[in-house]
Chains A and B, each alone.
Chain A
Amino acid sequence: MIIQMITRAILLGIPMLYGAVGEIITEKSGHLNLGIPGIMYVGAIGGVTGSFLYENACGNSIDNMSPFLSVFIPLMCSIVGSIIMGLIYSFLTVTLRANQNVTGLALTTFGIGIGNFFGASLIKLVDSDMPSIALTKTSQFFCKELPFADELGWFGDLFLSYDFLTYLAIAIALVSAFVLRRTRVGLNLRSVGESPATADAAGINVTRYKYIATCIGSAVAGLGGLQYVMAYANGVWSNNAFGDRGWMAIALVIFALWKPDVAILGAFLFGALCNANNYIHGLGVEAQELFKMLPYVVTVIVLVITSMRKKREHQPPAHLGLSYFREER
Chain B
Amino acid sequence: MSSISATKHHKEPLVHIVKRDEMKIWQAWLVRVAAIVLALLLVGFISMALTKEDFFTIYETMYKGAFGRLGSGSTVMLWNFLQKTAILLGLSLAVTPAFKMKFWNCGAEGQALMGGLASMICMIELGDKLSYPVLLLVILLTSILAGAIWGVIPAIFKAQYNTNETLFTLMMNYIATQIIKYYLYIEGGGSNKINPVDEGNLPIIFDNKYALNVLIVLVLTVLVYVYLNYSKQGYEITVVGESKNTARYIGINVKKVIIRTMIISGAICGIIGMLLVSGTDHSIDTNTVGGQGFTAIMVSWLGQFNPFIMILMSALVIFINLGTGKMADTCGLNSSFADIAVGIVIFFVVGCEFFIHYSVRFRHQRKEAKV
Q: Which A residues fall within an 8 A CB radius of B? A: 32, 34, 88, 92, 95-99, 101-103, 105-117, 120-121, 124, 239, 244, 247, 250-251, 254, 285-287, 289-290, 292-293, 296-297, 299-300, 303-304, 307-308, 310, 316, 325, 327-328
Contacts and interface: CB of A to CB of B under 8 A. Distances in A.
B336 A113 contact: yes
A286 B185 contact: yes
A304 B157 contact: yes
Contacts of A109: 294-295, 339, 342-343, 346
A303 B347 contact: no
A285 B191 CA distance: 12
A117 B164 contact: no
Interface in B164-180: 164, 166-168, 170-172, 174-175, 178-179
Contact of A106 (B168, B346, B354): B346
Contacts of B157: 303-304, 307
Contacts of B167: 250-251, 254, 299, 303
B254 to A, nearest CB: 16
A278 to B, nearest CB: 15
Contact of A108 (B179, B186, B294, B333): B294
Contact of A113 (B17, B181, B182, B337): B337
B335 to A, nearest CB: 8
A111 to B, nearest CB: 8
Contacts of A95: 354
How many interface residues does chain B have, given as a range? 35 or more
A251 B169 CA distance: 11
Given A250-B167, A286-B182, A117 B294 contact: no
A17 to B, nearest CB: 17
B301 interface: yes
B163 interface: yes
A270 to B, nearest CB: 12
B18 A327 contact: yes
Quick one: which of B157, B172, B178 has the most chain A CB within 10 A?
A: B178
Interface in B11-48: 17-19
Interface in B268-318: 294-295, 297-298, 301-302
A110 B340 contact: yes
Contacts of A325: 17, 19, 358
Nearest to B357: A97
B350 interface: yes
B161 A308 contact: yes
Given A327-B19, A328-B19, A307 B164 contact: yes
Contact of A307 (B162, B301, B338): B162
Quick one: which of B182, B295, B343, B351 has the most chain A CB within 10 A?
A: B343
B344 interface: yes
A105 B294 contact: yes
Given A117-B340, A120-B334, A304 B174 contact: no
Nearest to B192: A285
Contacts of A307: 157, 161-164
B362 to A, nearest CB: 15
Nearest to B189: A286
A92 B182 contact: no
A116 to B, nearest CB: 4
B178 A99 contact: no
A303 B339 contact: no
Contacts of A99: 301, 350
Given A92-B350, A102-B301, A103-B347, A112 B339 contact: yes
A290 B339 contact: no
B182 A289 contact: yes
Contacts of B339: 109-110, 112-113, 116-117
A34 B170 CA distance: 11
Nearest to A35: B343
22 contacts: A92-B347, A92-B350, A92-B351, A96-B351, A97-B357, A101-B104, A101-B297, A102-B298, A103-B350, A105-B106, A109-B343, A112-B336, A113-B338, A116-B336, A116-B339, A120-B336, A286-B186, A300-B171, A303-B163, A307-B157, A307-B163, A325-B358
Given A103-B347, A110-B344, A112-B339, A293 B175 contact: yes
B128 interface: no
A33 B153 CA distance: 25
B182 A304 contact: no
B371 to A, nearest CB: 23
Contacts of A124: 334
A301 to B, nearest CB: 10
B343 A107 contact: yes
A108 B291 CA distance: 12
A307 B163 CA distance: 5
